[in-house]
Structures are given as C-alpha cells and as structure tokens.
C-alpha cells in the first residue's frame, strides 16, 4: 500500500476530543475501520487488511487516547459510548448517507454499538467480539490495568500476546500505546462495555466473526439468533490467533462490497 494513497483527516468527537485518522480513497459505501483496545489505526496496513480490500473507500481513525488522537486521561472519558461518538464523528465529517463499519476485538463490539445507535450504518462487522452481555471480573480487569500502568507495562502486554500466539502486528501495536492512557481505557471498560448490544435496525446487516475453535463460539451464535446477525468462522483455534486471518477476512469483506456495488450483495 503506497503511502501516496493515504490522506490524513482530523475531527472532533462529541465531548471535544480531537481525533486523527487516514482515508484511503476508493469506491462504493465507505468503510469505517475501528481498532481494538491496545492498538491504533496502523494495524490495518500492518495486518494486510488494507491490501486485501483494494477498491473500498477506507476511513481508519485513531480512537481517543490512541495513535495521534487526543489523550483524554480519565476512564469515564473512555466508556464505550465515547468510542461510539468517535466513530459517529468520522461519519459526520465525511457526510455520506450510508457506511459500513468494521471493527476488531473491542473495536468490533464498538462497531455493533454504533450500528445500534446510528442507522447510517447499513453493514457492521465485528471481528472476534460478540454482542452479548459480559461479566467484567472486577479483579482481573483491575489487575490488568495495574499491570499495564506499571513501568514494564509494554512487556506485560507483549509477553502475553506472544504467549497466546498473536501476530506480530498485534504485538507491535501494544508497544505503540501510551500506558497511562491504556490503563484508563481498560478501566473505561466498566463504563458501559459490559452491556449487550440491544438490536439490529431494519435494513442493517450484522456479521459476527470468530474462530472455529473459539470456546465461546455459542455466545456468537446467540447473537445470530437474538439479532439476526450472520456468523463467519475463520480457521483458527482461538480468537487471538484468528488475528492471523484478518487479511483473509478483509478479502471476504471486499467481495461483499463488490457484490453490493453490482447490486447482487447479500443483505
Ligand atoms: C478471552 O479474551 C480473548 O480472547 C482476548 C481478547 N479479548 C476479548 O475478546 C474481550 N475481552 C475479554 O474477553 C475479557 N476482558 C479482559 N480484559 C479487558 C480487555 O480485553 N483488555 C483490557 C486491556 C487490553 C489489552 C484488552 C485486552 O486485549 N486484554 C486481553 C488480554 C490481554 S493480556 C495482556 O492479558 C483480555 O482479553 N483480557 C481480559 C481479562 C483481563 C479478563 C483476561 C472480558 C472480561 C471482557 C471477558 C474484549 C474484546 C472485550 C469484550 C467485551 C468487553 C470488553 C472487552 C482480545 N482482545 C484484544 C486482543 S485479544
């Protein structure tokens, strides 16, 4: 992906947070790309996703506190509704009537919440995050936040993701994050992220993606029943290792986008 294709953009979220992103111009319904917690917008190029979706108009933002976007500091400014507002600010900036939103991990859960709140989203993909209520184990999440804000916080993250077989692009992304901000994002998960995604709006197409071997696969199929979502499975033993398949999933997204443009897209 030559750098010449990428055009930077800036906008402001509903609470005033300054956001940065990159547009890769293309055709058809624009696709807003939403990264996960310990990531930034560079993962889309690094994972090969960008090259797997050569024609689409891609809008990749840095969520608040990540990449070049504003550090907001407080956990309550990192709740999932603030993430939703970040994505909606990008949709407002480009002013299209319809968008596809594609998110990975917590960015996928965010994509589903954006679709529930905003009917400009006609298709939402959640890579390896489901739509059901989760039990946030207060101690484990607080321990994780404390480990992240410790001096060797990057090592905690990279050792863990190495150990569970994450791809290099995910491990490298951890090294780029600002640790105090990442600890605030982690504590921010207590602000609304545990709630299930309530609905699919008429005319929306939701796709939940997880690993063939995911022990929580049944939680994803619950979303299929409850929301009328589609399920894609990737050939991987776990959700974390499914990250190796992100470019392959991008190619499937491109096929659907092309199909839609030709008027034959699955609805
Ligand atoms: C089974 O987990 C996996 O398959 C790993 C997978 N995580 C998830 O899918 C979801 N999280 C979880 O399931 C669970 N949360 C967790 N802490 C919240 C969290 O995620 N992080 C906070 C920090 C940041 C790095 C991110 C993360 O990544 N930490 C990994 C592991 C990293 S190491 C360094 O310890 C993670 O999961 N830690 C768990 C535990 C603490 C319970 C062990 C629960 C409590 C929500 C169930 C995420 C998408 C989520 C869903 C709903 C609501 C909130 C978050 C990955 N995400 C990114 C890359 S891999």
Per-residue pLDDT of 86-109, as tens digits, reads: 999 999 999 999 999 999 999 999
Write out pLDDT tens, residues 220-245.
Answer: 999 999 999 999 999 999 999 999 99
Best mutation site among 105, 129, 164, 180 for ligand 1, i.e. most ligand atoms within 8 A of its Cβ? 105
Rounded mean pLDDT, 5-15: 96
Q: What is the mean pLDDT of residues 149-157?
A: 96
Cβ–Cβ under 8 Å, residues 236 and 212: yes
- Average pLDDT on 152-158 reads 97
Are the beta carbons of 101 and 212 closer than 8 angstroms? Answer: no
Q: What is the pLDDT of residue 261?
A: 73
Residue closest by Cα to atom 60 of ligand 1: 240
Rounded to 5°, angle at Cα 33 from 218 and 240: 40
With a cut of 80, say whether residue 52 has pLDDT above it.
yes
Note the pLDDT of residue 246: 98
Q: Rounded to the nearest 5 degrees, what angle is found at the Cα of 249, between the Cα atoms of 246 and 254?
A: 125
Neighbours of 11 (CB within 10 A): 18
Cα–Cα dist 32/252, whole Å: 16
**25's tokens:** 């111009």
Average pLDDT, rounded, for the chain:
95
Identify the helix (H) or strand (E) that includes residue 30. strand 27-34
Of ligand 1's listed atoms, the one at least distance from the Cα of 36 is: 58
pLDDT greater than 90 at residue 138: no
| Ligand 1 atom closest to the CA of 141, numbered from 1 | 41
* Candidate from 153, 165, 186, 189 with most ligand 1 atoms within 8 A of CB, to mutate: 189
Is it the case that residue 76 has pLDDT exceeding 60?
A: yes
pLDDT digits (tens, 9 = 90+) for 120-134: 999 999 999 999 999
pTM: 0.96
| Ligand 1, pocket residues at CB < 6 Å | 36-38, 105-106, 109, 128-129, 134, 136-137, 140-141, 144, 156-157, 160, 186, 189, 193, 239-240
Residue nearest to atom 50 of ligand 1 (CA): 106
Structural domains in the chain, CATH included, are 3-135+195-262 (3.40.50.1820)
pLDDT band at 267 (very low <50, low <70, confident <90, very high): very low
% residues pLDDT > 70 (the chain): 97
Residue at token pair 């709006």: 201
**In sequence order, which residues have a C-beta less than 8 Å from that of residue 75 and are 6 or more positions away?**
184, 185, 187, 188, 190, 191
């Amino acid at each position: 992906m030559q750098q010449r294709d990428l055009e930077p953009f800036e906008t402001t979220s509903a609470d005033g947070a300054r956001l940065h992103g990159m547009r890769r111009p293309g055709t058809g319904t624009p696709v807003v790309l939403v990264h996960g917690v310990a990531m930034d917008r560079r993962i889309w190029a690094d994972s090969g996703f960008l090259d797997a979706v050569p024609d689409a108009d891609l809008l990749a933002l840095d969520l608040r506190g990540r990449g070049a976007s504003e550090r907001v500091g407080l956990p309550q400014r990192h709740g999932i509704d603030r993430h939703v507002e970040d994505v909606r600010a990008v949709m407002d900036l480009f002013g299209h009537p319809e968008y596809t939103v594609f998110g990975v991990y917590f960015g996928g859960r965010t994509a589903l919440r954006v679709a529930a709140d905003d009917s400009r989203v006609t298709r939402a993909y959640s890579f390896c995050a489901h739509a059901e209520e989760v039990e946030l184990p207060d101690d484990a999440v607080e321990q994780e936040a404390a480990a992240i804000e410790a001096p060797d916080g990057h090592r905690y993250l990279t050792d863990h993701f190495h150990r569970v077989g994450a791809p290099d692009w995910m491990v490298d992304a951890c090294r780029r994050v600002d640790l105090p901000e990442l600890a605030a994002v982690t504590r921010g998960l207590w602000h609304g992220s545990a709630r299930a995604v309530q609905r699919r709006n008429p005319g929306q197409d939701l796709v939940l993606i997880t690993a063939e071997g995911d022990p929580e696969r049944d939680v994803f199929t619950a979303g299929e029943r409850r929301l009328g979502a589609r399920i894609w499975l990737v050939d991987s033993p776990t959700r974390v290792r499914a990250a190796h398949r992100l470019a392959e999933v991008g190619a499937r997204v491109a096929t659907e986008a092309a199909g839609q443009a030709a008027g034959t897209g699955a609805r």
